[in-house]
Amino acid sequence: MDLDFTVVLDYLPMLAQGTKITVQLTAMAVGIGTVIGLFMSLMRLSGVKPLVLLAKIYTDFFRGTPLLVQIFLFYYGFPQLLGVQSFPRTLAGIITLSLNSGAYVAEIFRAGIQSIHRGQMEAARSLGMTSAQAMRYVVLPQAFKRCIPPLGNEFIAMLKDSSLVSVISLQELMQTGRIIVGRSYRAFEPYIVVALIYLVMTMTISQLVSYLERVFGKDDQSE
């Protein structure tokens, strides 16, 4: 069978909309996940056993189970448990992706915080800061710089993993590709175009992360 990419041209607006939804899902998931992950990492490092245990259970569950299972759990399982018909697809997708991202970001922040020499905290405390102030103004800014590369990798991973929400018919980029295949009866052209769009997005993010690394690297050198 000859290749015919003209069949995809009629669906470019759909692909553009699907790409937009994919980027929005990823940005919201990583944004919310970053907030969740920061709090979870602080809970793991707090030394308070109930908080440590709660954070460990959370991270172990979401890092140790497949994202696809989590999507089914939040879209089909919890509504049944709560006695409702279903959650809105978009809400279920955002919640699942955010909680999943939060577990990975928690480990990223925990590793970043632990990489800062304990002398930084001790020096801040000797200047009269409380532990919370020292963490906020001294440790976290330094840890955040070190977390930029793995956070960038998490964004890329979540961008690709967001394609899994197509299983609940949330019309992001992957689901859009499946719709085009169903309408055009051609599989290679729509899916290779979808793959190339993902490739362009991931390469763009990689370049942005590299730029941020250079910028913060210069700041460290100037200090």
Whole-structure pTM value: 0.89
Q: What is the 3-state secondary structure (H, E, C) of 132-167?
A: HHHHHHHHHHHHHHHHHHHHHHHHHHHHHHHHHHHH
Q: Which backbone phi and psi does 60 adopt, to 5 degrees?
A: -65, -40
129 pLDDT higher than 90: no
223 pLDDT higher than 70: no
Residue type, 52: V
Q: Is residue 31 part of a domain?
A: yes
Q: Is residue 184 part of a domain?
A: yes
Q: Is residue 11 part of a domain?
A: yes
Residue range of the domain that includes 139:
6-222
Confidence of residue 81 (pLDDT cuts 50, 70, 90): confident
Q: What is the CATH number of the domain that holds 184?
A: 1.10.3720.10
Q: Is residue 167 part of a domain?
A: yes
Q: Is residue 1 part of a domain?
A: no
Q: Is residue 24 part of a domain?
A: yes
For the stretch 133-162, pLDDT in tens is 888 888 888 888 889 889 999 999 999 999
Question: How many separate domains does the chain show?
Answer: 1
The predicted pLDDT at position 1 comes to 61
203 pLDDT higher than 90: yes
Query: Which whole number is the average pLDDT over 52-67?
Result: 96
Q: Is residue 34 part of a domain?
A: yes
